[in-house]
Amino acid sequence: LDTKETVAAALTEYQLDRKPRVERFQEAARQSQTYFENTRLYQHMEPLQFAFHLLSRSGRIDYDDLRLRDRHFVGAVDRWFTTTPIAAPPTFAPLTLGGKTIPNRIAVRAGHDLEAAVNTGAGLVFTDFVAVSEHGRINPYTVWLASVEMGKRWLGDNDLTTVVALGHSGARGATRGRKGMADVPLPEDEVWGLLAASPIPYTTRSQVPFEMDRTKMDDVTEDFVTTTGVTRGSGFDMVELNMGHGYLLGSFISPLTNQRTDEYGGALDARLRYPLEVFDAVKAEWSGPIGVALNASDWAPGGTTLADAVATVRILKEHGCDFVRVLAGQTTAKHFPRYDPYYLTHYADRIRNEARITTIATGDITTVDHANTIIAGGRADLCLLRAV
């Protein structure tokens, strides 16, 4: 009241000052509540990891915070996790995945700047989205089969563990470059035909894709297999199939984009039929570790839920999937993201500890402290730091 002319103005300023703090406490309480509602998922953990997960459950206490409060406890966690003579933070622990040993738990997406990826010291390096055919590109600048053939040149002599991320754009193809705004269609004289599970355009301005028939399914499956064969000879260590973010395979999985009435639509098992056909065909061609990038939620009413994602991962695991990189949203242009602390980590947590598979946490993970918190607590096995 000393600085405002009216009570209403003073109350407004007070609310603006206090509301963010209250919301942070409410979010912490929500995270804590979710933990206690799902404690059964963590019964398999060793006592030290269980305790760390409990103490960091709300997202308000990180690895470095705990080290300041109780260095002896965190030191015990380090020694248990790294199992080396000299204890180190969990991100420095190696991980064996599908017979391949990754030197540490940090992953990055290299894009075209491999040198920047090397300088991060990351144990696992992902390529950007690599299309399995020319018509499977997101935009004219998306690399496809011809670029994968240059994999050995891309890798050079660097001793990196590398993942080639393969996908087909589906309804999100034939767009302009993504500098500034994504999913803007190309001019009519530059577009190419799009394919999807159902003829649903991604945005109101987007081209209507063709609903895939059996012939198109076989053609695209062969594109995935052919690209995988090229990849095998290019020096990459792992393959990841993109089954999220509204791209082709993801469009079959989500009920928002799959409205088919044949054997490839309807219940989850039917919607998974074609993505599993592709996965099995690629796995038959690839001898190394293989994983998927998968939506844990579409962030849209009526879309894929976390329960659907867990069920999907269990089926993928039965088919030989080695890891899951956890995504959310972008299945449709109208999605409603929720950016809370570690906003995708709780999805990775549920998938890892319910389906018991190696998971890669994504989202706005920017520091090694955040990664240590996630990994030490058993919420994920690796963390993808913000793209370099």
Query: Position of tokens 């966690």?
Result: 77
Predicted pLDDT of residue 388: 46
For the chain, what percentages of helix, strand and coil (3-state, to nearest 5) are there? Answer: 40, 15, 45
Residues 101, 372: Cα–Cα separation, whole Å: 19
Predicted pLDDT of residue 33: 78
Predicted pLDDT of residue 116: 63
Residues 101, 98: Cα–Cα separation, whole Å: 8
| E strand spans, the chain | 95-97, 100-102, 106-109, 124-131, 161-167, 195-196, 210-211, 238-243, 290-295, 323-327, 358-361, 382-384
Burial of 37-48, coded b for 16+ CB within 10 Å and e otherwise, reads eeeebbeebeeb
- The half-sphere exposure of 115 on its side-chain side, counting CA atoms within 13 A, is 0
- pLDDT tens for the chain, residues 1 to 388: 466 678 787 777 778 777 767 766 666 677 677 778 888 989 999 999 999 999 998 777 899 999 999 999 999 999 998 877 778 899 999 999 988 899 999 999 876 556 666 667 788 989 899 999 999 999 998 988 766 666 555 555 566 788 999 999 999 999 998 776 788 999 988 999 999 999 999 999 999 999 999 999 999 999 999 999 988 878 889 999 999 999 999 999 999 999 999 999 999 999 999 999 999 999 999 999 999 999 999 999 999 999 999 999 999 999 999 999 999 999 999 888 877 667 899 899 999 999 999 999 998 888 899 999 999 999 999 999 875 4
- Give Cα 23 distance to the centre of its chain: 27
Name the packing angle between helices 306-318 and 273-285 (round to 10°). 40
By the 8 A CB rule, do 352 and 359 touch?
yes
69: exposed, middle or buried (Cβ count in 10 Å: 0-12, 13-18, 19+)? exposed
Q: Say how many C-beta atoms besides its own lie within 10 A of residue 349's C-beta.
A: 26
Predicted pLDDT of residue 90: 94
Predicted pLDDT of residue 152: 53
Predicted pLDDT of residue 38: 83
